Amino acid sequence: MRSRSIRLSISIILILGIAIAALGFKDINIDIPGFPRIERDGTGPLGLKLGLDLTGGGHLVYQADTGTKFEFTFADEVPINDLVTTLQDLRFGDDDDELEGLQVIPISLNKYQIRTDILSDDDPRRTGLNDALVEAHGPITLFETSVIDKPTVDQMKGVLDNITGRVNRFGTEEPIIQIFGEDRLIVQLPGASGSVTEILFAEPDPQADPPAPEVDIATELPRVLAEAGYEDFEIDVRDRLLYRVRSNTVSNDIQGRALTALITKIGPVAQFGVTSGIDDAKALIGQTALLEFKERTCSDSSCTTFSDADLGLTGDDLSRAEASTNQVGIGWVVNLQFNGRGSDIFSDLTQRISTAESQLTKRIAIIMDGRTLLAPVARAWIRDGRTVISGNFNREEARSLAIQIESGSLDVPLKLIQESDVDALLGSESLKNSLIAGLVGLGLVFIFMIIYYRMAGVVAAFALVFYTIIVLAFFKMIPITLELAHIGGFILSIGMAVDANILIFERMKEEVRIGRTLASSMEVGFSRAWPAIRDSNISTMITCLVLLWFGDRLGGGLVTGVAISLFIGVAVSMFTAVVVSRNLLQLMAWIGLGGKINLFTPESLPRSNQEATPAPAARGGS
Amino acid sequence: MLDIVGKRGWYFLVSVLVIVPGLISMIIAPGWITGDSGLKAGIDFSSGSVMNVTFRQPVEEEDIRNRLNELGHSEALIQRLGGTNFFIRTEVLKEAIGDQPSEREVIESSLEHFLGMERDRVEFDTVSPIVAQETVKTAFYALAAASVFILFFVWYAFRRVPKAHRYGVSAILALVHDLLIILGIFSILGRVINLEVNSMFIVGLLIVAGYSVNDTIVVFDRIRENVSRSPDRDLGTMVNLSIMESMGRSLNTSITTLVVLLAMLFIGGNSIRELLLVLAIGAVVGTYSSIFIASQYLVMWDRGEIGRFFRRTPAATATMLWHLIGR
């Protein structure tokens, strides 16, 4: 008995130690080869991740990217710069209209996609473009036009659901996603915000004539950045020419303005890079994620020019997409599984092009949103409908890609039109008040327990502190994005944790009353209270698991959040009451407090009980 | 010893008196008969208006909140988007009626006049609900499914005592009782003082559901223990004994839970008032229903009182008729 108890005490202290360490080190980064990497760096206290209502985050506004799309293939190669110049100079019709909202997306050296604002069917810009391009760059072999219209209400609803699904699958973050007006979408994400801009100035050229003016970068830089629109920034000087600027989230506009201003007012810039806290999220959300598989015929073995044949095979023909490490275990890949129809088409394709002579010219093109992700040669006939997208992915990129593929493509392409930081939904004042109130409440519970149960109350108080630390450690390590709702669930689970202790102490008191010694009362009290603690908590955990299952399936982030935090709370409370409280009480009995029953219960007892008698063997529970 | 079981009819009467007005409030228009929820949906569940505003001088969130409170928009969610740029969500703002200016107009001129908002840089539009209706439905389906699982779990956990399924059914009955009381209270408050329910309300309901069953099982455990110790004695006596024995624990647990909740309710900020209110009602009602509803229902079932009660009602007559026709 005694050695078991000592072993238990040691494990309890170990668990407590691990939990304190998990909370104590604000940023945790453990990377053991062969195991998933553990990285926890929440912005909240103790490194906890806080939700939008408790902390700020990123605020993104997307707009349906409507417009007219042209796709064309020239007979010869056309350099992109030439094409852009041509397009910018083109004027159409009587009013000399230019192409508005122009975007040029190169697909290969002779194949391009361009986008403009919506053009009606008989607009001269739409009817005349083919001829104008032929005139400038020679014959065109393929010319396709399509229009992306203003989205309908249902389409926007579909986009909302899709993006909500993507974010929910990516993690337990609770975003706010709302349709804004007719064709825009607001996305707010907790935690992630702020940008880091890295600027490397070029070494001034000593031979320059006239010599570059001496500029004091350290004084000039803040002024230039502020003018460009940087807010709340701090500059970290890495060396004479390298600067790292932490700031609010800066939009592309501000970045462009800043770069121009730096070059004109300070001097040549060798490198200018911006990473943002919401880069991952942007990559996940904004992509249309239209995945297509095409049969590519190359003109030569290095495949500089090619043509793609449509097979009618898209992301809709996949049944599963998941990220995993590659066979070597270093890089990350996305595994794809086609459904029945997809498998058949893919099987035909690989059978057809895996022959030795086909391998020279034929490839499988995997294209996402018009960009080729991968164009491998088929070396074997693949009949089971499985394939892999490999590339230079890290874990986040692979996961993000897999989620996008699995949740399907957006009905409407989106473009990011606004990006900024956003404050918490609840003022910091109200959060502080709630925290203080929670602590006051907890203090009152301690006082009540100690007055009512004396030493046992002290044990319960200790167990509650233990409970709180362990639960917070779980919240951090899982990790759970804490919202006020979780804190509510946590408070009620404190109630349940106290309940387990109260159940045990009440049973102990009953046993003391019928004349047992303290030590045996403890044992019997525990075993009597155990079925009630076990069954009641199992029922709550069942509720949580059902909620979790539903929440997961039907995309209710709210439901999932409550279920997880309550489940953790109940599971840990069971552990603390039965293992921690019990062990502490036993320790107290051994260090000689066992004889002083008055320390444990305020009730007056028959005289004979108050002397320690040898403990009779504990009776088992019901 | 107090005879709690003897007065069981009264507890049901009390519960009925609390539940029925709430139910009526849930059902009458706008309520279930018009296809609504019977609750006053807050900003989380309904479409709203959004304003993106910029001020000429530094402004605190609190200043804007005070202005909006004065104009009757205490539901507004205000977030700073950096600098003097703010993002404000409100309920759908009313259009101009007759001489009355539109609410948008009133808010904009107030913010311009008192806080120096830049009138020509306001971006205004409608937004969809923050929490989709589906989420709420999900929560209720999940609760229904969880009830079924709990029914079977309790049946299994009490398999050593006679007629174990009755414990499961009674626990679920107490759960439904608790949820109906909370829904009813909020429905009535919605009509009387315009209390709106937001996502926090759903969170609260889910937590209370977990707590309610938890508490019921603790009381049932005592009955289980006493019944298995003396299986020949009358169930009513055993239930009464068990309730008295576990009364200390029941009171202490709900008192400690309430202490924390009330402390937060009175000291804490506005932000989670709704959640705390649901939890506090839930803690009281959950304890009450374990002793006075779930346990008493067991006794009534044991003595065949439920059958007798229903035989006297038209519903029971209808059931009997149905059986006759069926044959």
Q: Write out pLDDT tens, residues B259-300.
A: 888 888 887 666 677 888 898 999 999 999 999 999 999 998
Q: Are residues B106 and B209 in the same domain?
A: no
Q: Are residues B187 and B143 in the same domain?
A: yes
Most confident of A515-519, B48-52, B77-81: B48-52
Q: Is B81 within 8 Å of A420 when comparing Cβ atoms?
A: yes
Out of B76, B108, B127, pick the residue that ends a domain: B127
Q: Which residue of chain B has the CA closest to A546?
A: B146
Give the pLDDT confidence of A60-79 residue by residue, as tens digits: 888 888 888 888 888 888 88
CA distance A468 to A565: 12
Q: Which residue of chain A has the CA closest to B262?
A: A441
> Mutate which of B205, B214, B250, B261 to test chain A, going by most A C-beta atoms within 10 A?
B214
CATH number at residue B17: 1.20.1640.10
Give the pLDDT confidence of A418-472 residue by residue, as tens digits: 888 888 877 666 667 777 877 888 888 888 888 888 888 888 888 888 998 998 8
How far apart are the CA of A317 and the nearest CA of chain B, in angstroms? 27
Q: Are residues B174 and B296 in the same domain?
A: yes
> Quick check: is B326 in a domain?
no
Give residue A597's pLDDT: 64
Out of B127, B154, B181, pick the residue that ends a domain: B127
Q: Are residues B160 and B11 in the same domain?
A: yes
pLDDT band at B194 (very low <50, low <70, confident <90, very high): confident
φ, ψ of residue A451 to 5 degrees: the values are: -65, -40
DSSP state string for A323-376: EEE-TTSSSEEEEEEE-HHHHHHHHHHHHHH-STTHHHHEEEEEEETTEEEE--
Q: Which residue of chain A has the CA closest to B65?
A: A427
Give the pLDDT confidence of A327-385 residue by residue, as tens digits: 777 778 888 888 888 888 888 888 888 877 777 788 888 888 777 877 888 778 888 88
Q: Which residue of chain B has the CA closest to A57?
A: B81
* B168 neighbourhood in chain A, CB within 8 Å: none
How many A/B residue pairs have CB atoms within 8 Å? 262
CATH number at residue B99: 3.30.70.3100
Q: Is B157 within 8 Å of A538 when comparing Cβ atoms?
A: yes
Q: Are residues B33 and B176 in the same domain?
A: yes
* A178 neighbourhood in chain B, CB within 8 Å: 50, 127-130
Q: Is B138 within 8 Å of A554 when comparing Cβ atoms?
A: yes
Q: Is the pLDDT of residue A51 over 60?
A: yes
Q: Is the pLDDT of residue A606 over 80?
A: no
Neighbours of B314 (CB within 10 A): 8
Single pTM value for the model: 0.76
> Quick check: is B222 in a domain?
yes
How far apart are the CA of A577 and the nearest CA of chain B, in angstroms? 14
CB A524 within 8 A of CB A505: no
* B143 neighbourhood in chain A, CB within 8 Å: 547
On the question of a cis peptide bond just before residue A479, with omega within 30 degrees of 0, the verdict is yes
* B269 neighbourhood in chain A, CB within 8 Å: 426-427, 429-434
How far apart are the CA of A179 and the nearest CA of chain B, in angstroms? 5
> Quick check: is B277 in a domain?
yes
- Rounded to 5°, the CA angle A560-A566-A567 comes to 85
How far apart are the CA of A180 and the nearest CA of chain B, in angstroms? 4
> Quick check: is B16 in a domain?
yes
Give residue B239's pLDDT: 92
* A544 neighbourhood in chain B, CB within 8 Å: 210
Q: Select from B153, B204, B267 the Cβ nearest to the Cβ of A538.
A: B153
Q: What is the DSSP letter of B117?
A: B
Query: Which residues are registered as beta bridge partners of A389?
Result: A334
* A444 neighbourhood in chain B, CB within 8 Å: 259-260, 263
**Number of separate domains in chain B:** 2
Q: Is the pLDDT of residue A172 over 60?
A: no
Q: What's at A385, amino acid-wise? A: G
How far apart are the CA of A419 and the nearest CA of chain B, in angstroms? 9
> Quick check: is B299 in a domain?
yes
CA distance A509 to A515: 10
Q: Select from A59, A423, A444 the Cβ nearest to the Cβ of B259.
A: A444
> Quick check: is B294 in a domain?
yes
H or E element in which residue B164 lies: none
* B221 neighbourhood in chain A, CB within 8 Å: 531-532, 535-536
Q: Is A448 within 8 Å of B259 when comparing Cβ atoms?
A: yes
pLDDT band at A9 (very low <50, low <70, confident <90, very high): confident
Its domain, for residue B218, covers: 5-40+131-321
Give residue B30's pLDDT: 81
Nearest to A406, CA basis, from A171, A162, A178: A162
Q: Is B87 within 8 Å of A422 when comparing Cβ atoms?
A: yes
Q: Which residues contact A231 (CB under 8 A, 6 or more apart)?
A: A247, A248, B82, B83
Q: What's the average model confidence in pLDDT over A39-60?
A: 76
Q: What's the average model confidence in pLDDT over B102-106?
A: 87
Q: Is B275 within 8 Å of A540 when comparing Cβ atoms?
A: no
| Gyration radius (Cα) of chain B, Å | 26
Q: Select from A441, A510, A622 the Cβ nearest to the Cβ of B259.
A: A441
List domains and CATH numbers for chain A: 2-41+427-610 (1.20.1640.10), 67-148 (3.30.70), 195-276 (3.30.70.260), 289-409 (3.30.1360.200)
How far apart are the CA of A119 and the nearest CA of chain B, in angstroms? 26
Q: Is B209 within 8 Å of A543 when comparing Cβ atoms?
A: yes
Q: Is B203 within 8 Å of A488 when comparing Cβ atoms?
A: yes
* A565 neighbourhood in chain B, CB within 8 Å: none
Q: Select from A421, A510, A558 the Cβ nearest to the Cβ of B81.
A: A421
Q: Select from B50, B138, B275 the Cβ nearest to the Cβ of A551.
A: B138
Q: Is B203 within 8 Å of A558 when comparing Cβ atoms?
A: yes
Q: Are residues B273 and B167 in the same domain?
A: yes
CA distance A232 to A248: 6
Out of B97, B127, B157, pick the residue that ends a domain: B127
Q: Are residues B155 and B278 in the same domain?
A: yes
Q: Are residues B174 and B260 in the same domain?
A: yes
Q: Are residues B57 and B188 in the same domain?
A: no
How far apart are the CA of B223 and the nearest CA of chain A, in angstroms? 11
Q: Is B256 within 8 Å of A449 when comparing Cβ atoms?
A: yes
> Mutate which of B218, B225, B273 to test chain A, going by most A C-beta atoms within 10 A?
B218
Most confident of A208-217, A264-273, A560-569: A560-569
Q: Are residues B136 and B33 in the same domain?
A: yes
